[in-house]
Amino acid sequence: MTTEIDWEDAFSNGDHIENAADFPPMWSEQAAEFRASVRGRLDLTYGEAPREKLDLFLPTEAPKGLIVFVHGGYWQAFDKSSWSHLARGPIEHGWAVAMPSYTLAPEAKIPEITAQIGRAVLMVAKEVEGPIRLTGHSAGGHLVSQMGCETAPLPDMVANRIDKIVSISGVHDLRPLLRHSMNGKLGLTKETAHAESPALRAPYKGFDFTAWVGACERPEFLRQSALITENWGCAGVPARLVADPGKHHFDVIDGLADADHPLCLDLTS
């Protein structure tokens, strides 16, 4: 009997989801339909790199504040255009929603991507007044959690406006990826894997944190969500873990598009 963990399988979400290949085209179609029907400003530049652009979707009245959603894809895939429809729920609650793209690995290493998200939040914070809330899925959950660390690449005037972070199926401990084949593109070292793991970093105070994960996800994602909730809770951050019943890694984000879903309500309330 072996007790060694198969790290390739631990992060292979699609292999354990029925009809997994159908999800990306469905996301793109839903996102395009939403963009055609909502008030927004597309392709706003927040940096010098070609992918340092974001979309900003606006409610019909003055926004309550700003929500930033960061997409996943293991830092190697997708861009902002596949996720626009997830702004629907927050917009119906009166929030502005920004969705940035970022340079993908291997062109950029994870520390560079973290810095890009910091620039995106800083730029769009100047466009929308009020509180700031961050959410992201998978690798995006990692990136928004990084914004809650004491080492976040944000000035105090922006960090102090963040009152809630919701990481959806986030990767919060990067050390296992040192043993995964994807590290051939990510280029993590022991030092960067630790430095870029929000579950291992000290959070700043002043925001509430939710780790939202599908109850049917791979055990590693359940572990990662529990780890950051425990560590940040012990550090004094109001933190809670939600395992969404019946949800897997690809459909756990659906609740953002529904104004009445508990995930959307957790983010916007």
Q: What is the pLDDT of residue 1?
A: 44
Q: Which residues of the chain have pLDDT under 70?
A: 1-3
Assigned domain for 1 exists: no
CATH code, domain with 76:
3.40.50.1820
| pLDDT tens-digit readout, 241-256 | 999 999 999 999 999 9
Assigned domain for 143 exists: yes
Assigned domain for 46 exists: yes
Assigned domain for 2 exists: no
- Cβ pair 157, 127 in contact under 8 A: no
The CA angle 225-227-231, to the nearest 5 degrees, is 125
- Cβ pair 41, 56 in contact under 8 A: yes
Domain range for residue 261?
7-268
Assigned domain for 142 exists: yes
Is the pTM higher than 0.85? The answer reads yes
Q: What is the pLDDT of residue 4?
A: 79
A 10 A CB-CB count for 191 gives 8
- Tell me the two tokens of residue 9: 């399988």
Domain total in the chain: 1
What is the phi/psi pair of residue 222, to 5°? -65, -40
E strand or H helix that includes residue 211:
strand 208-214
What is the phi/psi pair of residue 123, to 5°? -65, -50
- Tell me the two tokens of residue 120: 């995106």
Annotate 150-169 with b (16+ C-beta within 10 A) or e (fewer): eebbbeeebbebbebbbbbb
Q: What is the pLDDT of residue 3?
A: 56
Q: What is the pLDDT of residue 118?
A: 98
In whole angstroms, give the CA distance from residue 146 to residue 217.
22
Assigned domain for 100 exists: yes
Q: Which ranges constitute the DSSP H helices of the chain?
A: 7-10, 23-35, 88-92, 110-125, 139-146, 156-159, 183-186, 190-195, 219-234, 262-268
Assigned domain for 203 exists: yes
In whole angstroms, give the CA distance from residue 144 to residue 117.
8
- Tell me the two tokens of residue 155: 């000035």
Q: What is the pLDDT of residue 120?
A: 98
E strand or H helix that includes residue 166:
strand 162-168
Q: Which whole-number Å values give the CA distances from 93 to 110, 141, 251, in the listed order?
A: 33, 22, 21
Assigned domain for 13 exists: yes
In whole angstroms, give the CA distance from residue 75 to residue 143.
9
